[in-house]
Amino acid sequence: MKYILIMFLLCIGCKKEGESYIVKDRFGKEHKYDINHSVNKDKTTIYCQLHYKWETIQHYRTTEGIEYWMRKFKYYK
């Protein structure tokens, strides 16, 4: 019984292999992320698996729904 409980606890935090989220930006270009972007946040920086770079996602609401604007993440020293 305790082994079943341990296996269950180990698998709670496990992410499904290959799970990803595809998001289209305002120009129709696809971006692939391993975590889901939260629409409730103003800006989020996530690594794009298609473009191999960090991108900052911003969203805005239109009459068509939510549109996304992705920009290359700029970091300053």
Asked if residue 57 belongs to a domain, the reply is: yes
Q: List, in sequence order, every residue forming a beta bridge with 48; answer none if it has no partner.
A: 53
Q: Domains in the chain: how many in total?
A: 1
Asked if residue 2 belongs to a domain, the reply is: no
Asked if residue 6 belongs to a domain, the reply is: no
Asked if residue 8 belongs to a domain, the reply is: no
DSSP 30-74: EEEESSPPPTTSSEEEEEETTTTEEEEEEEEEETTEEEEEEEE--
Contacts of 52 (CB under 8 A, 6+ apart): none
Asked if residue 65 belongs to a domain, the reply is: yes
Q: What is the pTM of this model?
A: 0.62
Full domain range(s) for residue 39: 17-72
Per-residue pLDDT of the chain (77 residues), as tens digits, is: 555 545 544 554 454 556 788 888 888 999 998 887 766 677 888 889 999 999 988 888 888 888 888 888 876 65
Asked if residue 28 belongs to a domain, the reply is: yes
Asked if residue 51 belongs to a domain, the reply is: yes
Asked if residue 66 belongs to a domain, the reply is: yes
